[in-house]
Amino acid sequence: MSALEPFGTRLRHAMDERGPLCVGIDPHASLLSAWGLNDDIAGLERFTRTVVDSLAGTVAVFKPQIAFFERFGSRGIAVLEKAVEELRAAGALVVMDAKRGDIGSTMAAYAETFLHKDSPLFSDALTVSPYLGYGSLKPAVDLARENGAGLFVLALTSNPEGAEVQHAVREDGRTVGATVLGHLAAENAGETPLGSFGAVVGATLGDLSSYDLAINGPLLAPGIGAQGATPADLPGVFGAAVGNVVPNVSRGVLRYGPDAAGLREAAERFAAEVREAVAAA
């Protein structure tokens, strides 16, 4: 495998060409049932195959949630490996939503699983947790740089429980979330057109003007669709950084399956609405 351009560069180009949208691949039991599929490996395979065949050629970014594949054991991981390979072969970028976080050799092993170019689960980016200290992510940061990949670090998440940690105030007066954003800005300093180290920032959080979101990197924004946020909300949440937002939609698109045309129409509609909101900001 030849060396890749940095993830931030590839992400900027993909969003400009295909539209600013990330579709989550979340094959949970209730969604499989809604598609008329059994909650078993055959249902998982059919669901994943339909999403890949319908959307891989037009959507910029996909975010598989690894837990929904891991619950089927090695057979589920095999389905995920094939999906990652085929999504990337079709020109889409894959953000593996695994939220890994640990220290030392364990963090290095997680990084090798998802960020080493020879791994069957090699992804364009990985979600990670910094709550063992941002410095614990160094093995992932280093391997991502080496292989042209990126990270999305949990900073200001959409779940209500996150506030008790992320909004906690440190001795220096900054919140934990702001500290994470500061580290990412340093990682991305001087990178063009976009740095490769992004933050996860919920689209449902309302006015975030007290936070400096200008990290020169992407902002992965869950919460669009089923969680209540809309593309029109993005400028109010992200302000001047809205052009770097990667809005994630899962159920808002996937509920239109298994009809391929319905999936494509939903994805195109969300991408168009995001573009319109960004252009009007």
Q: What letters, b where the CB count within 10 A reaches 16 and e where it falls short, cover 90-115?
A: eebbbbbbbbbbbeeeebbebbbbbb
Contact 131, 165 (CB under 8 A): yes
Residues in the chain: 281
Contact 69, 77 (CB under 8 A): yes
**Cα separation, 11 vs 94, whole angstroms:** 10
Q: What letters, b where the CB count within 10 A reaches 16 and e where it falls short, cover 118-135?
A: eeebbbbbbbbbbeeebe
* Tokens of residue 201, six digits: 């920032």
Q: For this structure, is 138 an active site residue?
A: no
Catalytic pick among 63, 82, 99, 117? 99
Residues in contact with 228: Cβ distance below 8 Å, sequence separation at least 6, in sequence order:
204
Contact 273, 266 (CB under 8 A): no
* Tokens of residue 121, six digits: 């689960």
Give the active site residues.
Answer: 99
